[in-house]
Amino acid sequence: MTTETLNEGEVTITRVFDAPREMLFAMWTEPKHLAQWFGPLGFTNPVCEIDARPGGALKIVMQAPNGDRHPMKGIFREVVKPERLVFTNIPVDAEGHDLMDGLTTVTFEDVGGKTRLTMHTRARALAPIANRMLEGMTMGWTMTIDRLEAFVAAKR
């Protein structure tokens, strides 16, 4: 019998947006906005439910271009408008079993009318399939923040 090592991953992305932090904060906390940009390039979010308050739930189902669905859930641990969000992000399988245990922190720093956004996430595989997810974590989050940047620019 072979056993597969369950891995961990960590990503930090910092980007300056030409937009006020209140706007960026809303992009992360309002479903109508988050559904438009969240996830890797080409993904859509047919389910996007957010209750942005401490203890509030997050539920997103990302749909890949090939139609595969990737559900995730989470709980907001901190919501400090418009400065900081901390939430768990837990991808689940079709039966609702947790695949990874993740924690994401997003900070919004005012820099002269622009916003320095720092997104830090850390995740630990709970199932062997999650190791592949961890391998793509940096690329996936980079594409996600790229999509946010394009979405914000289109709103300005």
Task: Identify the pLDDT of residue 4.
Answer: 63
What integer pLDDT is reported at residue 2 of this predicted model? 47
Q: Which CATH architecture has domain 8-155?
A: 2-Layer Sandwich (3.30)
**So what's the pLDDT on residue 155?**
87
* CB contact at 8 A, 114 and 17: yes
Query: What's the confidence (pLDDT) of residue 5?
Result: 73
- Per the omega criterion (within 30 degrees of 0), is the bond before 54 cis? no
State the Cα–Cα distance between residues 71 and 48, nearest whole angstrom.
10
Using an 8 Å Cβ cutoff, are 66 and 44 in contact?
no
**From the first residue on, what is the mean pLDDT of each consecutive set of 10 residues in the chain (156 residues)?**
73 97 97 97 97 98 96 98 98 95 98 97 94 93 97 91
